[in-house]
Amino acid sequence: MSHTLWWKNPWLAWTVKLLIGVILIALLFTTVDLRSVFRTFASSSVPLCIAAYLGMLLITTLNALQLRWCMANQDIALPLARGIEIQLVAMLYGLVTPSAIGAGAVKWYKLSDSGRYRAQAAAVLVYLRAANTVILLSLACVALLWERRIDSGYIRALTAVLLAASFLLFLTLCSNRFATTVGLGIHGKASRRLPQALTSAIGRLWTAFEALSRLPKSRLAAILSLSLLIEASGIAVFLLLARAVGLDIPLLALAWLRLIIIVVQLPPVSIAGLGMREGALVLLLPELYGAASEQALALSFLLLGRRIFLGLLGGLCEIMRAFHRPSERLSS
């Protein structure tokens, strides 16, 4: 009789991660007045919430436009509407999986046209993640340098590391020679140590990356400009939701707080970052900005709500595609 490790059982692993999120939320509720949390949540400014959620649709469209441009570099035509659908469906599955892993896997599968363009889709997603991360880290560094409430050598060291990481990622994006050198090194080591099939897959991936590294400077500038607009819009959405629950947090502070929220949701230990996001906000906002814990929790629920909103739209896209399966596929 074979024994399967529990973390390799998808349903059991999903249940454990959901329980972790629920337990973290329950522990947070023991430190605050639950009725105050729901009163704060219920009294949130509806117009500001609507504006924030519409802002998420703008971000989704900008992300889809980035996908379209980079897939065109791979000689694959991606309609903008299809790119938006891919973004929304990824958000749907990110609600029921560890968000970064589940959403990323679904986005890759959909973008690859059910496996036809696996290497190209993987290269494009990694490339765009790097582009957006460059801007995200740069904005967070600027915000940390201006933050007067935090005066610590550790924070200065962290800022230096973030700046170095941003520069390295930017160099990878902009320098064809750098990307080619790194790619050749990885491919050369892989060809000596890995099976032929895996080496061939790495070779196709490297070819796709090399094509992206040869993007015209004008198109690279346009992609990075979109990344700046995406990240700035994300900060604006954060600001609107914070104002909706009565939090008066400086705009620059939200830039680095948003980075913290994104990072704490990356480990695959809970579903959709449940509990991790709430814990980070309850720890940071009252300590640094004098916010009430009830406001911090209400803000975290609104942040979760924007993902549910996009996920529901993604579910609608999946239903429409199930009942009306188009015959056309991505063309190359």
> What was the pLDDT predicted at 215?
84
Listed range (94-108, 116-130, 303-317) with the worst mean pLDDT: 94-108
Which of 116, 107, 119, 99 has its CA nearest to residue 67? 107
Which H or E element spans position 304? helix 293-323
Q: Is the pLDDT of residue 331 over 60?
A: yes
Confidence grade of residue 214 (pLDDT, cut at 50, 70, 90):
confident
Are the CB atoms for 143 and 239 separated by under 8 Å? Answer: no
User: How far is the C-alpha of 77 from the C-alpha of 106, rounded, in Å?
Assistant: 19
> Could you give the residue ranges of the DSSP H alpha helices within 175-292?
176-193, 196-213, 217-244, 251-264, 276-289
The yes-or-no verdict on residue 2 having pLDDT over 50 is no
- CA 195 to CA 154: how far, in whole Å? 44
Q: For 199-220, what is the mean pLDDT? A: 82
Interatomic CA distance for residues 23 and 107, integer angstroms: 29
Residue pLDDT, tens place only, 4-42: 554 455 566 656 666 766 676 666 666 677 788 888 888
pLDDT tens digit string along 234-267? 999 999 999 999 999 888 889 888 988 888 887 7
Q: Give 102-149 as a 3 state SS string.
A: HHHHHHHHHHCCCCCCHHHHHHHHHHHHHHHHHHHHHHHHHHHHHCCC
pLDDT at 293: 86
pLDDT at 325: 62
Q: Which of 278, 325, 306, 329 is nearest to 37 (CA)?
A: 278
Confidence of residue 228 (pLDDT cuts 50, 70, 90): very high
* pLDDT at residue 97 greater than cutoff 80: no
Mean pLDDT, residues 170-199 taken together: 64
pLDDT of residue 10: 59
Distance between CA 140 and CA 152 in Å, rounded?
A: 16
Q: Cα 30–257–226 angle (5° rounding)?
A: 135
Residue ranges of the domains in the chain?
Answer: 53-323
Amino acid occupying residue 152? S
| Pairwise pLDDT comparison (55 vs 286), residue with the higher score | 55
First to last CA, the chain: 48
Examine the pLDDT at 220 and tell me if it is beyond 90.
Answer: no
Question: Residue 140 in contact with residue 255, Cβ under 8 Å?
Answer: yes
pLDDT digit string, tens, across residues 77-86: 999 999 999 9
Return d(Cα 299, Cα 317) in angstroms, integer. 28
Q: What is the largest CA-CA distance in the chain?
A: 62
User: What is the tens place of the pLDDT at every residue in 114-135?
Assistant: 778 888 999 899 889 888 888 8
Express each pLDDT in 186-206 by its tens digit: 656 655 666 766 777 777 888
Question: Is residue 299 predicted with pLDDT exceeding 90?
Answer: yes
Spatial CB neighbours of 252, under 8 Å, sequence gap ≥ 6: 142, 143, 146, 147
- DSSP three-state, residue 249: coil
Q: Which range, 22-26, 105-109, 169-173, 273-277, is most confident?
A: 105-109
In this prediction, residues 135-141 reach a mean pLDDT of 86
- Higher-confidence position of 199 and 285: 285
Q: Quick check: 156 pLDDT over 70? A: no
pLDDT over 70 (residue 1) = no
Instruction: Give the pair of three-digit tokens for residue 144.
Output: 């940390």
Q: How far is CA 308 from the centre of its chain?
A: 15
The share of the chain scoring above pLDDT 70, in percent, equals: 77
Dihedral pair phi/psi, residue 58, rounded to 5°: -60, -45
Residue 102 has pLDDT above 80, yes or no: no
Q: How confident is the model at residue 145 (pLDDT cuts 50, 70, 90)?
A: confident
Average confidence score pLDDT of the chain:
81
Residue spans of beta strands (DSSP E) within 35-112: none
